[in-house]
Amino acid sequence: MRHLIIGYSVAAISAIKSIREFDKASEIVVLTDETSVYSRPLISYFLAGQVMKNKLSFIPKDFEEEMKITVRWNTAAKKIDSKKKTVLTADNEIIKYDRLLICTGGVPIKLPIDGYFEDISGIFTFVKLGEVEKLIKYIEKNKIKECVILGAGLIGMKAAEGLLARKIKIRIVEMADRLLANTFDKTASALLEEKLKESGSEFLKETTIKKIISKAKKLEALELSSGKTIKTRLLIMAVGVRPNIELCKGTGVAVNRGIVVNTKMETNIPGVYAAGDVAEGREFLSGENAVIAIWPVAARQGGVAGANMAGKITEYDGMFPMNSVTILGVPSISFGLTNPKTADYQILLSSEGGRYKKIVIKEDRIVGVVLVNAIERAGIFGLLIKQKLDVSALKKQLLLDDFGFLVLPRDFRKHFVTGEGTEV
C-alpha cells in the first residue's frame, strides 16, 4: 500500500500520525513545493522578529525517520490521474498511489486592480513563509517605515500584528465598515481601531484600491475608490485565500468552493481524500459543508483522513470558525456564529473599561462568542459551544468576570475531570 500526500503542513502531519497509528508498514510519500515544515500561525511573529526561523517547525527533527516517510521537498504536483491512480510532478515524474490525500491548502486572492502586475517590486501576499522572508528582506533593504494593507480580515490583521511590532505604521484599506467584519461587530472593531489610531496608524473603511501606480516596476502610490491617493512603497495584499483546487481539474473529484468531502474526509472518488484549507467538510453548527481555513480544523480533518486511509473507520463531526489576533497588546478571540442575520438569536453584551464580551445564543445554547481584552475564559466558551450545553440557567453569569468551570452543572463537569486536573 502506498499513501501519497500532496502538501506538508498540519493536515498532512496529522494524517501521517493517524496512518502510522493503524498502519505501521505501508509506504508514505509526501510531495511539497516548500522547503521546510512551519507553523503558519507563527509567521506574523516571525515577521515581528519574535520567533526565529528555526523555531517555526512544529514537528521533531526525526519525524520523517520515526514515521518512516519519504518527503519530496521542492516538488510540486502538476496533475492527478484518478483513473490510473497516478500523480505527475512538475519535474514530469509519475508517482503511483493506492490512497491519495490532497492537502494543498489555500492560495491568496488577488483582486483585478488596474495597474497591478506580478513583477512590481513592493507588493506582497501574506500566506507562505517564503513570501514573508522576501517581505522582511524588502523592508530591511528599503528601510520601510510605513505600509498599506489591503484587507482587514484575519490575514490582514495578522500581517498588521507583525508590522506594528516592527514599529512600521500601517494604513488598512477595507471595503467593509469595520475590522474583522466576518466575526466582529462595530463595538469590538472600535476597540482595535482606537489602538491603531494611538499608534499613528490609520483605518480607511468602505473603500478599496482602484489603481496601483508604479514607476520602473517599483510601487509608488495607490489610488483609492474614494478618490484619495496614498504614497507608499509597500503593499500587503490580504483580501483572503481561496482553496487551491487546481489539481482537481479534469479528475472527476467534486469541487464546490473547496474539495467536497464526506465525514470520512473522502471525496466522491474512492481512495482520494482531502483535508485542511482546501477541503469543504462538515461545519459543526449548521451541519452543512463549508471551508473553514484555520489550523485546528486542518489538524482534526487530517487526523480523520489518515485514519480512514489506513482502514480505521473514523467520522469527522465538524468544527466551527475560531480566530485569535492581538493588536498592539489588545488580545481578541471569536468562536462560531458571531453576527447572526435573523432575529431568532439572543445576544448578551458587556462593554466596559476596554473589555468587550458578546455571547450569541440560540435555543438556550451558545453558538457564538466574541471576546476583546477579556479572553481569560475563552476555552470554556469553546467547550460550551462544542458540547451544546443548555445555558438557560447560566445566562446571568456568562458575562461575569468570575464565570468559570466551577459554575457549570456538576453532571456536566464530571465528564471533563480526571484525577487532579481538568480536560478542557
Break the chain into its structural domains and give their ranges: 2-106+244-309, 123-239, 329-422
Residue 70 is placed in which grid cell? 519519504
| 123-239 homologous superfamily | FAD/NAD(P)-binding domain (3.50.50.60)
Q: Are strands 86-89 and 77-81 parallel, antiparallel or unpaired?
A: antiparallel
Q: What is the DSSP letter of 172?
A: E
Cell of 91: 519535474
* Residue 418 pLDDT: 47
The pLDDT assigned to 230 comes to 96
C-alpha grid cell, residue 41 = 500561525
pLDDT value of residue 423: 38
Looking at the domain covering 2-106+244-309, what would its CATH class be? alpha beta
Tell how strand 322-327 and strand 330-336 pair up.
antiparallel
- Closest-CA residue to 266 (of 284, 245, 280): 280
3-state SS class at 156: helix
What does pLDDT average to in each consecutive run of 10 residues of the chain (424 residues)?
97 98 97 95 95 96 97 97 96 97 95 93 96 97 97 94 95 95 93 90 96 96 96 96 95 97 98 98 94 95 98 96 89 94 93 94 96 92 91 90 74 54 37
- pLDDT (0 to 100) of residue 420: 42
C-alpha 113/C-alpha 120 separation (Å) is: 13
Domains 2-106+244-309 and 123-239 share a fold: yes
Q: 181: how many CB neighbours lie within 10 A of its CB?
A: 17
Cα–Cα distances (Å) from 256 to 28, 259, 261, 280, 395, in that order, read: 28, 6, 10, 8, 39
Q: Which residues pair with 87 in a beta bridge?
A: 80, 95
Given a contact cutoff of 8 angstroms between Cβ atoms, the answer to whether 320 and 33 are in contact is no
3-state DSSP call for residue 365?
A: strand
Top-level class of domain 329-422 = alpha beta
Cα(91)–Cα(82) distance, rounded to whole angstroms? 19
Rounded Cα gap, residues 123 and 236, in angstroms: 6
Residue type, 373: N
